[in-house]
């Protein structure tokens, strides 16, 4: 994937990425800053057209955003401040001309699933950042797509909130059977949440390693098994980033 602008050198962001994502899996992309994780997510979702190659979903190429197939959750909740929690969840369904009663039923269902149905009539300013992100997740779930893309959805939250929401996201994923493609900078999140973890190199982003995480669920984020995965991630990512910067690898964290 290359970005071209008149008067500036061509920027190659992603190079030779070939991935297969299993249906119903929790699939995570991780790598050093600027390696192209979010760009790759945008390509998979159809928001960015690749300069080379293609993305196939259910046998069909993805050429544009398709909210009947793919839902997105971003780092910022991006809720409409003038709409209540319930109306924010209903918004995507309204755009798809889903009947009013069905919109309301779906909003109730997924607000209950993320644990904030009692705040349905609140406005975004009246709830915490973590709760706003729950609303964002409920909004994506309400579209009832098979594939959900998540671009650092817990990145703006503190560590405690991240772990709590991570555990709840795991429960939701297991209940719904959705396929989740998740971007994170957090080694703990990657090890704790994922079935497969793709480690990307520094820009231009390439696949450096794919880790199959077969630690049984439910998982303890402080377990020795996950600690080994975190250390493996740290070793690969930090070595790649420091090599690009011309520096040596520091001691283990």
Distance from C-alpha of 86 to C-alpha of 104, rounded to nearest angstrom: 8
Distance from C-alpha of 47 to C-alpha of 173, rounded to nearest angstrom: 24
- H/E element holding 200? strand 196-200
Give the mean pLDDT of 172-185: 95
**CA-to-CA separations, 99 to 21, 102, 105, 110, 229, in angstroms, rounded:** 33, 5, 10, 17, 46
Distance from C-alpha of 90 to C-alpha of 165, rounded to nearest angstrom: 22
Quickly state the pLDDT bin for 246 (edges 50, 70, 90).
low
**Of the given ranges (44-58, 88-102, 164-178), which has the lowest mean pLDDT?**
44-58
Phi, psi of 213 (to 5 degrees): -95, 100
User: Among all chains, which residue has been given the structure tokens 């904030």?
Assistant: 116
Chain-centre distance of CA 162, in angstroms?
Answer: 13
Sign of the torsion formed by the C-alpha atoms of 28, 31, 36 and 38: positive
Query: Where does residue 53 fall: left (phi above 0), alpha (psi -120 to 50 degrees), or beta otherwise?
Result: left
Quickly state the pLDDT bin for 115 (edges 50, 70, 90).
very high
**Strand 2-3 relative to strand 11-12, pairing:** antiparallel
Q: Identify the bridge partners of residue 26 per DSSP, sorted by sequence position.
A: 180
- H/E element holding 188? helix 187-193
Distance from C-alpha of 129 to C-alpha of 127, rounded to nearest angstrom: 7
Tokens of 183: 């971007």
Per-domain residue ranges of the chain? 1-69+147-253, 80-144
Write down the pLDDT at residue 155. Answer: 87
User: Among all chains, which residue has been given the structure tokens 């520091």?
Assistant: 250
Other CB atoms within 10 A of residue 61 CB? 9
Give the percent of the chain with pLDDT over 90: 72
Write down the pLDDT at residue 1. Answer: 47
As a CATH number, domain 1-69+147-253 is 3.40.50.300
pTM score of the predicted model: 0.90
């Amino acid at each position: 994937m290359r970005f071209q602008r008149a008067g500036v050198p061509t920027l190659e962001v992603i190079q030779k990425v070939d991935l297969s994502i299993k249906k119903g899996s929790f699939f995570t992309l991780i790598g050093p800053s600027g390696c192209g994780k979010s760009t790759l997510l945008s390509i998979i979702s159809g928001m960015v057209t690749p300069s080379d190659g293609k993305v196939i979903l259910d046998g069909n190429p993805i050429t544009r955003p398709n909210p009947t197939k793919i839902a997105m959750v971003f780092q910022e909740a991006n809720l409409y401040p003038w709409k209540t929690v319930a109306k924010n969840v209903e918004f995507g369904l309204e755009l798809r001309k889903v009947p009013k009663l069905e919109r309301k039923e779906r909003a109730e269902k997924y607000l209950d699933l993320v644990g904030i149905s009692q705040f349905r009539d609140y406005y975004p300013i009246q709830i915490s950042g973590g709760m706003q992100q729950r609303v964002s997740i409920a909004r994506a779930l309400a579209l009832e797509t098979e594939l959900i893309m998540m671009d650092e959805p817990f990145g703006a939250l503190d560590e405690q909130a991240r772990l709590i929401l991570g555990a709840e996201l795991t429960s939701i994923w297991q209940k719904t059977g959705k396929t989740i493609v998740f971007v994170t900078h957090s080694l703990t999140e990657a090890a704790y949440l994922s079935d497969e973890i793709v480690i990307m190199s520094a820009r231009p982003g390439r696949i450096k390693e794919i880790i199959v995480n077969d630690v049984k669920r439910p998982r303890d984020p402080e377990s020795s098994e996950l600690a080994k995965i975190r250390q493996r991630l740290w070793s690969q990512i930090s070595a790649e980033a420091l090599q690009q910067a011309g520096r040596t690898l520091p001691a283990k964290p």
